Structure 1
Amino acid sequence: MYDVYVNNNNKKKLIIIGGAVIGVILIGFFVFFLLSGDSKEKNLKDFYAKINNQKYDEMYAMISDDAKSTYTKEAFIKRNKNIYDGMEVTDINIDVVSTDGDKITYTVNMKTVAGSTEFENTTQFKDDKIIWNDSFIYPDLGSTDKVRIVEDKAQRGRILDRNGTVLAGKGEAYSVGLVRGKLNGENDYDKIAKLLDLTKEGIQKTMSASWIKDDSFVPLKTISKDDKNLENDLLAIAGVKLTTTNIRSYPYGKVTSHLVGYMQKVTAEDLDKHKGEGYTENSYIGRSGIEAAYEKDLKGKDGIEIYIQDDSGERKASIARQLREDGKDMTLTVDITLQKSLYNQFQNDKSASVAMNPKTGEVLALVSTPTFSSNDFILGMSTSQWNALNDDKNKPLLNRFRSTWVPGSCMKPITAAIGLETKSLDPAKDFSSAMKWQKDSSWGSYYVTTLHAPTPNNLKNGLVYSDNVYFAKAALEIGADNLVKGYKSLKIGEEIPFELSLNKSQYTSGDFKDEIQIADSGYGQGQILLNPVQMASVYGAFVNEGKMMAPHVVKTTESSVWAQPFSKDVANEIKEDLIQVISDQNGTGHSFYNKNVVLAGKTGTGEIKDSQDDTEGTEVGWFTVMTTDSSQPIVISTMVEDVKGRGGSNYVTNRMKAPLNEYLNK
């Protein structure tokens, strides 16, 4: 017989061990279920991450065998790629709402070509694989449904003059195309190519596209509706068809080209630079002038909708929609009548004209000649047309009001005003007249020469007679430091505050210490270069109590004072002398005298030559004129290249009479 002995301590140990085992088992079950749920959610998020990265082939590996039996890999990839790429889906994010066994409900937020969209969806899993069907893409999408994308094109904003006249807007042209089934084979390709400035090879390549059927209209080129002879010649050829198409139109063509600018079809670089801004390979974009500077405002935003269409062609559900926003109209400060008048006077010259209201800074006209027609770029410029523009020795593509030029004698009133403002020039001082002058023998063979040496040789006569020697002496009297101080007060050398990009004016390209350069600067030579827009702003200060207004050409830009380089008294003194330049019979601008209106102004001839002995150099002619009556405030500054042998600055003054008189008498 055996006695049974029970150790209570061991019993406690057994109970503890047993409890621990049960706890591990329970935790294991909990972790299993927890991880099982996590794996589904993780797989779902991974799947959407692959959509973001367009890894459609890898997505196929994550769907269930049941789904694979319904969708081949090729069909799956094609369906997903066509829809997601077509909608331009990016930035997909999901948030899990709830989990119920093998089902996960979640919200999807994504960006599309039609804007952001959000929807709720439910996905079921089998063995941690997604049971995929078309409703995964969008809940209402069936296997036979299609995803459609429709556009509602925004109207580009118009560009208007100050009175509402259209400078750029909607117009019509002909799209010239061929209908293969009606052509006389390729027998007329040479004739068509010649009429449209194309090549026979180019037409053959276009007509070889696989999509073309016998009754298809195949566009070749857009032409103006104004060329009736070309229209008739084209329609006389069998198989040629003309259809009306809407285009951007510039009613004033060459008159406004450098100001308004033009549009061109986008390039690959444009699409990359403006990615996500609604441009496609068929879009046009502003390339210069106002069209480029205000592209975002003018462009607007196309309306676009993504929706599901069932197999009967009915609209089933909308996925995303972006309403159309037409572009904004841009109203300019220019007066198209004055713009056209200045263009007509100088269209055959290499010139720049700026008209401005000196009280507000509003630009009333902005012309550069010779030029091109903005319409040619819209219609599609051929290689020969483009080469002709680029190779033209008169440089019609050069925007001359954007550039800087030697100001010549138009700088003299500015030098005088700086001297008066800094109290370094006595206007009554007689510098003694001389037709030829140098400070001393240290100048070697260099002399300042003039065409007129009035007596007394004071400020008033220096301006009226436009005496180079007087202003060379005056510049040295004023001194380099005061001149530089004055140039800086006039913002010469700084960015010009203007809606369009303008080249900076300059008073020197290096040090401003050489005496000859300082003396030459006094009468507008040396290294001084002025932009025509800034020239008009500076002269405007003489009739605006010394205030130089910031130039602006867009109506909504607020008028503002750019600088106040001169006091009211200094401005008035220079203004009175400039009145004499025109009213005095000896004044260089007297040919512009008008008994009905008091005008002030200054002529100028800038020399461009390699040395003082250079006889082959060219001359730049200037004339800047302004009214002194505050009820009709205007200043016009015009620069013309190559006036040597054509009357110098007189060539300019003679052609500015009609535009100013027309403007004042309207």
Structure 2
Amino acid sequence: MKKFGVIFLLFSAFLVACSDEEEEVQPEERLEEYVALWNEENFGEMHTRVIDTPKEKFVDRYQKIYEDIEAEDLSVTFEVPEPVEGEEESEEEEESTEETFPISVSMESLAGPIEFDSEITMVKEEPETEDGEVDWKVSWSPALIFPELQDATTEIDFENTEPVRGQIFDRNRKGLAVNESIYELGVVPERFENEDAEKEEIAEAIGVSVDEIESAMSASWVQPSYFVPLKVVPGLEKDNIDDAVESITPLTYQTTTGRIYPLAEAAGHLVGYAAKINAEKLEEVDQSRYTDQDVIGYRGLEQLYEDRLKGERGIKIIAVTEENEKTTIAEKEVQNGENITLTIDIEVQQQLFNEMSGDAGTAAAINPKTGETLALVSAPAFDPNAFIYGLSNSQWQEWQEDEQNPMLNRFAATFSPGSVIKPVTSAIGLESGSIDPSEGLEINGLTWQKDGWGNYSVTRVSESSGPVDLMDALVRSDNIYFAQQALSMGEDVLVEGLKEFGFEEEFPFTYPIESSTLSNNGALDREVLLADTSYGQGEMEMSALHLAMTYTPIINQGDLMQPILEMDEESGQVWKEDILSAEHVDFLAGALSNVVTDGTARTANRESVVISGKTGTAELKQSQADESGQENGWFVGYPDDQEILISMMIEKIQDQDNGSGYVANKVANVIENLR
């Protein structure tokens, strides 16, 4: 604890004693010494200066109380009253055996500041022998610790008020993580009629074993009329609960409040979950804020926003008499957790997750004009409610053994983008002047290689009927065209241009998402790597959200928007300004429209809505000769009103007839359904 020195306000310096013309020790001198020891919390020495108080009632009590309340910054001061001018001390006053002084005490405690004024009485002790010295000691009582401690029987106690955990809402104030009614299912032993049969029914109805029921009922505290808890379930399952309770007599429930995740798997990776803190986690956190009974965020937004959602426990320091009368000494009001409203739209989140059902992949949806993030989806996923209301061993094992890995958060990870990066490569070439959109390249056949490349060649999915220009290359997704253009523009131009689009830097987003990278070492210092990177292969990796953002200059007259996640963040922030001219914006917008109507994304062509976008296929092969390697399909698309832009990746599309068109169809379905 911090110790502070005495602040001694002395208004009259000394009172002079006349006996034998020697100075007699004065009460304020002894009080000054006592107060100095008090400020140092030297209770042992303090006890030597008090009258008729057992040591354990003094030293032990001071130490325990100060430790329990976590006293800090203690400051004790006193004043010596000035004599009234013109009044002479009477003989009786001169020979007084008691002197009283006003004192002020202040300190910090776990319940906030404590301050009080009191009085301390010094008692004169006559010498036991004629040649002894007069001394002064403190007349002490527990009220000098706190005025509320009027006698030795009054005790210090604490009352805690737990904060309500903050909730997480979407942009329309719909719940992503909310505090709602939950149901504690249990049995009342005396209601059993056919015990064996009814236990079997209960076990099947609520998903516990008969052994678990019997173990709970055999606890030492259980009485026939008591409610014996078995399982807690969220309010989402209330209909099932009502049916079971109505049909099985011993089964009943109690209602309380708990954490609910209404979107379940659809937002599992985004929201994460909050559950009772485990021993390992307890060691990592500030233990002045957490106990082993607290809930803490695991994964996702519950973990990311833990400090804001947690709140601060309220605490009262109280004095309690033998008659149980309570007096508050200090109080820190409870601070409930903060409610957080996201830019996420639950409807978009749910639609994307539903559309990806059965596939592994990721999707990000944004408002490309404002940078607001509307959805972040990873599929497959886990149900966060299961971690709170009973995750069975079989369910956990199923998740662990699932080859699609539902515990992997794909929207926070990076992947090879394939041909969806070609509009970015086009923008770099157009802005640098290395690509003339009207110039056609003579390309023959489906493969091409530069001299000296050995067995390596670039392939394209379709042949051209003449010279290939930029529009044709985008519509047909011609890898050879982009490879040749990359070699022409060179490493420096492509690297600098990709960095203008946010590669090789920290992604500016609230939720931690991996940075997008050009290559393993940040350079494109090999011709094959340079060529491959131009069409999204090589070693390039990026996240679905970053990919979505790279299309925003086409919608915002050249400005690359910054993504935001919370509604109280400023929308419309620009991450990279003027990286695309108006002329090139118009060209690329027209190209993306043609990709859907005449090119590789025809599966996204709908009568009800005009969609623009780009497909991409990322080949994850061990070698060029590998014909069975995994392929991931991409599509980035947006409707004509440009109110939403979706970036989606589906893993293992190599067996789909339409290739990346399979993904384009899914994105178009969501856009169409949201209208």
TM-score range, shorter chain: 0.7 to 0.9
1:313 alignment partner AA: N
1:164 alignment partner AA: R
Are positions 1:108 and 2:105 aligned together?
yes
Are positions 1:247 and 2:258 aligned together?
yes
Corresponding residue of 1:614: 626
In 2: Cα distance, 1:238 partner to 1:64 partner: 69
1:478 alignment partner AA: M
**Is contact 1:89–1:110 with CA below 8 Å preserved after alignment?**
no
Cα distance, 1:300 vs structure 2:
3.3
| Aligned match for 1:139, one of 142, 147, 161 | 147
Corresponding residue of 2:38: 44
2:423 alignment partner AA: P
Corresponding residue of 1:526: 538
In 2: Cα distance, 1:492 partner to 1:378 partner: 39
Corresponding residue of 1:15: none
Corresponding residue of 1:353: 363
Give the TM-score normalised by the residue count of structure 2. 0.81
CA gap of 1:627–1:229, structure 2 versus 1, over 3 A, is closer
**Is contact 2:74–2:108 with CA below 8 Å preserved after alignment?**
no
CA gap of 1:277–1:635, structure 2 versus 1, over 3 A, is farther
Give the TM-score normalised by the residue count of structure 1. 0.82
In 1: Cα distance, 2:42 partner to 2:211 partner: 50
| Aligned match for 2:53, one of 52, 56, 67 | 67
**Is contact 1:49–1:92 with CA below 8 Å preserved after alignment?**
no
**Is contact 1:190–1:200 with CA below 8 Å preserved after alignment?**
no
In 2: Cα distance, 1:28 partner to 1:436 partner: 117
| Aligned match for 1:158, one of 163, 167, 174 | 167
| Aligned match for 1:636, one of 646, 651, 660 | 646
Corresponding residue of 2:332: 322
Cα distance, 1:320 vs structure 2:
1.4
In 1: Cα distance, 2:373 partner to 2:47 partner: 66
Corresponding residue of 2:374: 364
**Is contact 2:37–2:45 with CA below 8 Å preserved after alignment?**
no
SS at match of 2:53: helix
**Is contact 2:308–2:338 with CA below 8 Å preserved after alignment?**
yes
Corresponding residue of 1:168: 177
Cα distance, 1:93 vs structure 2:
0.4
Once the two structures are aligned, what percentage of the paired residues are identical?
33
User: Aligned runs of 1:271-282 on 2, under 5 Å?
Assistant: 271=282, 273-275=284-286, 278-282=289-293
1:399 alignment partner AA: N
**Is contact 1:624–1:636 with CA below 8 Å preserved after alignment?**
yes
**Is contact 2:27–2:99 with CA below 8 Å preserved after alignment?**
no
**Is contact 1:543–1:572 with CA below 8 Å preserved after alignment?**
no
1:96 alignment partner AA: T
| Aligned match for 1:394, one of 389, 404, 407 | 404
SS at match of 1:324: coil
In 1: Cα distance, 2:562 partner to 2:380 partner: 27
CA gap of 1:213–1:115, structure 2 versus 1, over 3 A, is farther
Cα deviation 1:458-480 (Å, max 9, x = unaligned) = 11111111111111111111211
Corresponding residue of 1:489: 500
Are positions 1:570 and 2:584 aligned together?
yes
Are positions 1:339 and 2:352 aligned together?
no
Query: Once superposed, what is the RMSD of the aligned Cα atoms?
Result: 3.8
| Aligned match for 2:429, one of 419, 426, 442 | 419
Cα deviation 1:553-607 (Å, max 9, x = unaligned) = 21111120011322222222111111110122xx001221134543221000101
Corresponding residue of 1:91: 72
2:52 alignment partner AA: D
Are positions 1:295 and 2:306 aligned together?
yes
Cα distance, 1:390 vs structure 2:
3.5
CA gap of 1:363–1:72, structure 2 versus 1, over 3 A, is closer
Are positions 1:561 and 2:578 aligned together?
no
Cα distance, 1:505 vs structure 2:
0.5
In 2: Cα distance, 1:481 partner to 1:112 partner: 61
Cα deviation 1:148-187 (Å, max 9, x = unaligned) = 4334443333322222222222211123467789999x99
Cα deviation 1:110-146 (Å, max 9, x = unaligned) = 3333322222344567888876543243211243334
Cα distance, 1:72 vs structure 2:
6.7
SS at match of 2:567: coil
In 2: Cα distance, 1:98 partner to 1:215 partner: 65
In 2: Cα distance, 1:617 partner to 1:486 partner: 30
SS at match of 1:66: coil
In 2: Cα distance, 1:639 partner to 1:341 partner: 15
In 2: Cα distance, 1:662 partner to 1:110 partner: 63
**Is contact 1:355–1:636 with CA below 8 Å preserved after alignment?**
yes
Cα distance, 1:386 vs structure 2:
3.8
Cα distance, 1:359 vs structure 2:
0.9
Corresponding residue of 1:476: 487
**Is contact 1:207–1:218 with CA below 8 Å preserved after alignment?**
no
In 1: Cα distance, 2:21 partner to 2:488 partner: 99
Corresponding residue of 2:130: none
Cα distance, 1:652 vs structure 2:
0.9
Cα distance, 1:272 vs structure 2:
5.3
Corresponding residue of 1:223: 233
In 2: Cα distance, 1:394 partner to 1:386 partner: 14
Cα deviation 1:44-93 (Å, max 9, x = unaligned) = 234x367xxxxxxx699768683328x679xx85x66775565x423150
SS at match of 2:52: helix
1:561 alignment partner AA: V
Corresponding residue of 1:580: 594
2:181 alignment partner AA: E
Corresponding residue of 1:7: none
2:143 alignment partner AA: S
Corresponding residue of 1:543: 555
In 1: Cα distance, 2:665 partner to 2:234 partner: 36
**Is contact 2:544–2:647 with CA below 8 Å preserved after alignment?**
yes
**Is contact 1:189–1:200 with CA below 8 Å preserved after alignment?**
no
In 2: Cα distance, 1:477 partner to 1:199 partner: 73
CA gap of 1:286–1:623, structure 2 versus 1, over 3 A, is same
CA gap of 1:628–1:229, structure 2 versus 1, over 3 A, is closer
Matched pairs, number: 622
**Is contact 1:94–1:106 with CA below 8 Å preserved after alignment?**
no
CA gap of 1:199–1:515, structure 2 versus 1, over 3 A, is farther
In 2: Cα distance, 1:149 partner to 1:118 partner: 18
Cα distance, 1:417 vs structure 2:
1.0
CA gap of 1:618–1:59, structure 2 versus 1, over 3 A, is farther
| Worse-superposed segment, 328-337 or 236-245 | 236-245
Corresponding residue of 1:600: 612
In 1: Cα distance, 2:244 partner to 2:351 partner: 35
1:305 alignment partner AA: K
CA gap of 1:72–1:485, structure 2 versus 1, over 3 A, is closer
**Is contact 2:418–2:537 with CA below 8 Å preserved after alignment?**
yes
1:487 alignment partner AA: L
1:353 alignment partner AA: A
In 2: Cα distance, 1:115 partner to 1:221 partner: 39
User: Aligned runs of 1:646-665 on 2, under 5 Å?
Assistant: 646-647=656-657, 648-663=659-674, 665=675
**Is contact 2:608–2:672 with CA below 8 Å preserved after alignment?**
no
**Is contact 1:198–1:382 with CA below 8 Å preserved after alignment?**
no
**Is contact 2:630–2:652 with CA below 8 Å preserved after alignment?**
yes
| Worse-superposed segment, 138-147 or 193-202 | 193-202
| Worse-superposed segment, 520-529 or 103-112 | 103-112
SS at match of 1:120: strand
**Is contact 2:630–2:654 with CA below 8 Å preserved after alignment?**
yes
Question: Gapped runs of 5+ residues in structure 1?
Answer: 1-21, 51-57
